[in-house]
Amino acid sequence: MASELRVTGTMVWYYYVCKRQVWLVAHQLDPDPEDDNLEYGRFLHQHAYKREKKEISIGHAVFDLFREEGENLVIGEVKKSSKHLTSARMQLLYYLRELKRMGVQATGEIRIPEEKRVVRVMLDPESERELDRAEREILRIIYLDKPPKAEKTPLCRSCAYRELCWA
């Protein structure tokens, strides 16, 4: 199993929200699929930005939106709020770095339809260093024999994994 584990954009997202979730998702322990937040996220993903090209998978990267602006590729992630902007930014930077490794230059946008907000994201050397550090820590976490200890935070109330941590 150890050779199967690989860092994904979703793990990068979770890393900046909750380290325990990194381990859970890496070990294919899925959150409650009927969780209201997840259901709303799926709804938003389906119905927001209907005219944009949706969900593309390139290598290990799957991002929500993409379009071309001249010769530049713009990829986007749709989020329901700016509450986890750091997580969303790092996830998008991860996808931009994956594209760069494939020889594709791109920029990114975090789209928050309910706030009518678009946050532009560009990969730079400092972001790449932060991603390298995060990726090393994510790999350390996913190779643990058991998940990190659950730590109660205000985010736990709306977490789709709450039953796994607090049942």
pLDDT in tens, 57-97: 777 777 788 888 888 899 998 888 888 999 999 999 999 99
| Confidence at residue 59, expressed as pLDDT on a 0 to 100 scale | 73
Mark out the alpha helices in the chain (DSSP H runs).
Answer: 9-15, 19-26, 36-47, 85-101, 125-142, 162-166
Q: 121 is in which domain, residue-wise? A: 2-166
Q: Give the count of domains, the chain.
A: 1
Q: What is the CATH number of the domain that holds 36?
A: 3.90.320.10
Structure tokens at 39: 């259901």
Taking CA 31 as the corner, what is the angle to CA 147 and CA 75, rounded to the nearest 5 degrees?
100
Strands across the sheet with 53-58, in order? 53-58, 61-69, 72-78, 106-112, 117-121
Give the tens place of pLDDT for each residue, 124-152.
Answer: 999 999 999 999 999 999 999 999 998 88
Enter the pTM of the model: 0.84
Give the tens place of pLDDT for each residue, 100-113.
Answer: 998 989 999 999 98
**Side chain identity at residue 117, one-letter code:** R
